Structure 1
Amino acid sequence: MTSDLPARMLRLLSLLQTRREWSGTELAERLGVTTRTVRRDIDRLRELGYPVEGTTGHAGGYRLASGTAMPPLLLDDEEATATAVALRTAAGHLTGMEETSLRALAKLEQVLPGRLRTRVTALQQTTAAIDWGTRGPRVDAELLATVAVACRDHETLTFDYTTRHGTAAPRRVEPHHLVSSGGLWYLLAHDTGKDAWRIYRLDRISRPSPTRHRFAPRPVPGDDPAAYVAAKIVTAPARHRAVVTVHAPAETVRRRTGALPDRVHPLDENSCTVDCSDDYLPGIARTLAALDADYTLDADPQVIAYLRHAAERLQHATTAPGTRPGHHTPPT
């Protein structure tokens, strides 16, 4: 039983922050007190400015609602460390979040205990992220937050979606999961109009609008959202087709390229095929360069043309200055 009032209040607040809704009985069992004591403690939190709402139902319950101001959050050691690292990462990867992420990080680091501040500082000083520039579009933070909340609250969402062919159309979906891969964010949702599961790239979504209509979540095919999205990304038609036969073991190629397992198919112990198809021509070139082995290429004409042009630029860049066409070595 948590008899110390301040400790019990902190424990109650922490519980309210971990779940959307608690029944009074559940909170009483967690705190080792009566439901009457829980009601009194809830009233104390309200007096302190925490917007705790009562919910209706068989036994009634409580939830921490949004208020006019952000109340203090309680984080354990691992949560505080993860939040600090995530804020540092967001500062470099979410459009419009650089300054706000750093401000939030500064506030968090100011109140971190010494042991955690040392841990966070070590993580920041000894880790780095590689920015591949134009490999994938940066995600708008407001859009990401809107979709994430709709997923969490099981709220039907409408938005305009632009396909890879450039056509746009309205969508009405039941959002289930967000999945990130290769610098891109994907929404796994059930399209109510088509009555089918669909995957949407977040950078192609515009004007997202929650409808306030709640839905009962459906079981995701295969019970693994990330695996389902990965499989569909592999089989989805890309704008530019490119398949190579590589004279190297499949496992070696997977390690070198970081390709999804379903894109690499072994032919024998010393060769395999790799599907390098992509919407982005430089991405295909990067995968081919990472092979570091002999290969034959079967690709669309625009892929061949791009690679030939890239090879010409590379050859020009590596040719000795005195042997370049139109170049004359100055006399000594």
Structure 2
Amino acid sequence: MATTSRRALRLLSLFGSRRVWPLRDLAARLGAGERTVRRDIETLRRLGYPITTVHGPGGGYRLGTGHTLPPLLFDHDQALAAAVALQTAPSTVFGLRDDAARALVTLEQAMPAALRESMKSLRLTALPNYWEFPAPPADPEALTTVGTAVRHHHVLVTETLRADGSRPGPGDDDFTPARRIEPHHLVVWAGRWYVVAHDLQDHRWRVHRVDRLRARPTGRPFTPRPFPDGDLAHFVMSSHDRGDVPAAWPCTGHARLTLPAGTVARWAPSGSVVEHLDSEHCRLTLGAWSWAGVAGILATFDTDLTDLHPPELAQACHRLASRLAAAATPTTDQP
């Protein structure tokens, strides 16, 4: 009976997450046979849940129209997911820290004792990451504007902002005119929010940092296009011109690498900038807590480095090379 109750609870949560469920999909998600799922559905119906049968090719089962599930109907895995999400969201979205903390307390108070203990076991301690600086948390209003346009397939008019949030004027060197884009996907990577969009000016797929955009909804619908790259994650990570800017480090320098920009962009630490020079070369600007740290990160790319700047970075590379050469030289005074 306990197993049946847990499965029925999971079944209810599934009905709350999707409008129509084919029987085979329910069986696969519950890890049970189709006959068992039918019995569980009949059990829920006897308990008063209006689960209706939908006939036709796209049919299955759904919770009756106008009926809502009891509040806070979480299973164990959902409770853990909620605990993690509420504690990590403030690092990427501005202004949610106090609200997320209050929501976590509210959830814990409404949970059964066993689930409450599971959630408390996942109270996280945020530790500083000394090698990567995520972007400042995104503005909730900007995320809502872009996310709504992605969901409803509406064209956006966007303007590119500077790192400080200001908009360059027409006479500034970094000014770019407003562009119309078709936003297709919202992606989070390395603490940054990106939107993958089709640019209607040059008809290219591009990646934009959401916190570097001023987006204006148009309400104009578009027909979603097939994504040509096939691998959305690879496209975002290997796009060197996705709007990133150097993070504020004590030591920041750059070097010319004998590698394509897309390759370096995939592996460069967050808070760095990759510039395309030609098909075989790029310029990487990055920072660290020391010049030795910058030199060490550059060395991980295992390629030729030229045009190092500033001089402190070149000197740190010389010191690092000397230390590595000494470490690689066999000694003769060992027993």
Conserved 8 A contact 2:156-2:180: yes
TM-score by length of 2: 0.56
Offset at residue 203 of structure 1 (A): 0.7
Structural mapping, 1:1-150, within 5 Å: 10-19=9-18, 21-22=20-21, 32-33=37-38, 41=45, 59=58, 72-124=71-123, 128-130=127-129, 136-148=135-147, 150=149
Conserved 8 A contact 1:172-1:192: yes
Q: What is residue 185 of structure 2 aligned with on the other side?
A: 176
Q: Which has the higher helix share?
A: 1
Q: What is residue 229 of structure 1 aligned with on the other side?
A: 236
Offset at residue 259 of structure 1 (A): 7.2
Aligned residues: 271
User: CA 1:115–1:8 in 2, change beyond 3 Å: closer, same or farther?
Assistant: closer
2:196 is aligned, of 188, 209, 218, to: 188
Q: Which runs of 5+ in 1 are unaligned?
A: 47-51, 246-253, 264-272, 278-282, 309-332
Q: What amino acid maps onto 1:284 in structure 2?
A: G
Q: What is residue 205 of structure 1 aligned with on the other side?
A: 213
Offset at residue 216 of structure 1 (A): 4.1
Q: What is residue 160 of structure 2 aligned with on the other side?
A: 162
TM-score by length of 1: 0.57
Give, in whole Å, the separation in 1 of the partners of 2:217 and 2:184.
12
Secondary structure in 1 matching 2:239:
helix
Offset at residue 101 of structure 1 (A): 1.2
Give, in whole Å, the separation in 1 of the partners of 2:87 and 2:226.
34
Offset at residue 71 of structure 1 (A): 6.4
Secondary structure in 1 matching 2:13:
helix
Offset at residue 113 of structure 1 (A): 4.3
Conserved 8 A contact 1:11-1:31: no
- 1:290 counterpart = 2:290: no
Deviations 1:146-191 (A, max 9, x none): 434554x46234132316624341423141241322x322111223
Offset at residue 80 of structure 1 (A): 1.6
Give, in whole Å, the separation in 2 of the partners of 1:112 and 1:88.
17
Q: What amino acid maps onto 1:229 in structure 2?
A: V
Q: What amino acid maps onto 1:103 in structure 2?
A: R
Conserved 8 A contact 1:179-1:225: no
Identity %: 31
Secondary structure in 2 matching 1:218:
coil
Calculate the aligned-residue CA RMSD, in Å.
5.4
Conserved 8 A contact 1:144-1:202: yes
Deviations 1:64-87 (A, max 9, x none): 8999x9962543323321221221
Deviations 1:284-306 (A, max 9, x none): 3558441465997625xxx649x
Q: What amino acid maps onto 2:16 in structure 1?
A: Q
Q: What amino acid maps onto 2:178 in structure 1?
A: A
Give, in whole Å, the separation in 1 of the partners of 2:120 and 2:23.
40
Offset at residue 117 of structure 1 (A): 3.7
Give, in whole Å, the separation in 2 of the partners of 1:64 and 1:146.
30
Secondary structure in 2 matching 1:172:
strand
Deviations 1:222-278 (A, max 9, x none): x32222111112798979982168xxxxxxxx99x8579x98xxxxxxxxx99532x
Give, in whole Å, the separation in 2 of the partners of 1:64 and 1:172.
37
Q: What is residue 263 of structure 2 aligned with on the other side?
A: none
Conserved 8 A contact 2:181-2:197: no
- Identify which of structures 1 and 2 has the higher relative contact order when contacts are C-alpha pairs closer than 8 Å and 6+ apart: 2
Deviations 1:33-71 (A, max 9, x none): 39x969x9599557xxxxx9999985567778999x996
